[in-house]
Structure 1
Amino acid sequence: MLIAKRVSIWRSSYLISAEGRPVATWDSAFWKSGGTFDLDGQQYRVNANAWGTRYTLTGPDGTPLASADRVGRKNWTVQAGGQTYRFQRRSFWSTDQELHTDQGPAGSVRRTSMWGDQVAVDLPGMPMPVQIFVLGVVITMWNAQAAAAAG
């Protein structure tokens, strides 16, 4: 399980830890959807289309590694390494996102407090860069929803 803790109230930056050990830092893009994260000394980039419904993860060498489609809808997907991961909003009233398999819920991305400064990521079997990609996409989606509600 990963725990992402917001490091500043002024910016959407998160320190990501696994088993209490820092492993990465997520930094949201300032004027657009997406962002970057550093993992094992390598920088990964997350880019979005203009509507924030499709995201792409590129590796340190610019190679596409994963993509997310229909982000912001009740059901959305992530493709990575020849596999498709299906996500679903937990309920109409919740912003928590669940990873689903044919057997039912298998993981989640959820806020651990109502203040939104900490996020728990439980996506078993998913490669670490893809887990952080999903985290970044969800944080970006939450930020966009909060901005739309405030406007």
Structure 2
Amino acid sequence: MLTARRASMWRGRYEIESDGRPVTVWDPSWWRNGGDFEIDGRRFQVRANGWGTKYRMFDQTGTEVALVERAGRKHWTMRADGRTYEFRRASFFGNRQELLTDGVPTGSMHRTSAWSGGVEAELPGLSLPLQVFVVGVQIAIWQAQQAAASA
């Protein structure tokens, strides 16, 4: 299980653990939607288009590793490693997202607290960098929604 906890209330950084072991820190970008993280010495950069509906993950060489499309919608996808992964929002009002395999839920992620911003994710079949990417994209979407609601 992947868990993400806000490192500070004043900055949007999240400490991410896998099965209780620290693996990385999601560091949001201040001037565009997305963020950066590092796993096992490999640096990744996540950037969104202007509308925040497409997110791309690049490795340290600038190669695109993964792409999320239709982010923030009821149904959305991630393409990586020659595969397409499907996700859906479990309910209109909830924050739970489900990973689907052949239309059947096989994993999920959800906010553990709106106040602390904590996230738990069980995403079987995805590599650790892809799990962090999906969780990071979801954090970015939730933060954008909170900012829009408070404006």
TM-score of Structure 1 vs Structure 2, range by shorter chain = over 0.9
Q: Tell me the residue number matched to 1:42.
A: 42
| Partner secondary structure for residue 142 of structure 1 | helix
How far is 1:103 from its partner? Answer: 4.8
| Residue correspondences, number | 151
Structure 1 stretches of at least 4 aligned residues deviating more than 4 Å after TM superposition: none
Q: Tell me the residue number matched to 1:134.
A: 134
Distance (Å, rounded) in 2 between the aligned partners of 1:113 and 1:72: 19
Structure 2: state its 5+ residue gaps: none
Is structure 2 residue 51 aligned with structure 1 residue 54? no
Show the 5 A alignment for 1:94-133: 94-133=94-133
How far is 1:31 from its partner? Answer: 2.3
Q: CA RMSD in A?
A: 1.1
| Partner secondary structure for residue 149 of structure 2 | helix
Structure 1: state its 5+ residue gaps: none
Deviates more, 1:75-84 or 1:89-98: 89-98
How far is 1:137 from its partner? Answer: 0.5
| Partner secondary structure for residue 105 of structure 1 | strand
Q: Tell me the residue number matched to 1:17.
A: 17
Distance (Å, rounded) in 2 between the aligned partners of 1:94 and 1:70: 18
Distance (Å, rounded) in 1 between the aligned partners of 2:30 and 2:123: 27
How far is 1:114 from its partner? Answer: 3.7
Distance (Å, rounded) in 1 between the aligned partners of 2:33 and 2:52: 6
| Partner secondary structure for residue 51 of structure 1 | coil
1:31-61: CA deviation from partner (whole Å, max 9, x where unpaired): 2100101111221000110000001000121
Q: Tell me the residue number matched to 1:93.
A: 93
Change (3 A) 1:78 1:148: same
Deviates more, 1:107-116 or 1:33-42: 107-116
